Amino acid sequence: MAKKSKKTDAASKTAGKGAVGAVEKTISDNRKARYRFEILEQVECGLVLLGSEVKSLREGKISLEEAYGRVRDGELWLIGCDIPEYRQATHWNHEPKRPRKLLVQKRQFDQLSARAHERGLTLVPLRMYFSARGIAKVLLAVCKGKKLHDKRQSIKEADSKRRIDRSLRRNRS
Report the CATH number of the 23-146 domain: 2.40.280.10
88 vs 38, which has greater pLDDT? 38
Whether the pLDDT of residue 125 is over 90: the answer is yes
CA dihedral 143, 149, 154, 156 (to 10 degrees): 180
94 vs 31, which has greater pLDDT? 31
Q: What is the distance between the alpha carbons of residues 24 and 113, in angstroms, rounded to a whole number? A: 27
Write the pLDDT tens digit of every residue in 135-166: 999 999 998 888 877 778 888 888 999 999 99
Q: Are 33 and 141 in contact (CB under 8 A)?
A: yes
Whether the pLDDT of residue 24 is over 60: the answer is yes
Write the pLDDT tens digit of every residue in 32-57: 888 888 888 899 999 998 888 888 88
Distances (CA, A) of 108 to 45, 46, 115, 139: 10, 12, 11, 13
Indicate the domain borders of the chain. 23-146
Q: Does an H or E element contain 111, and which? A: helix 106-116
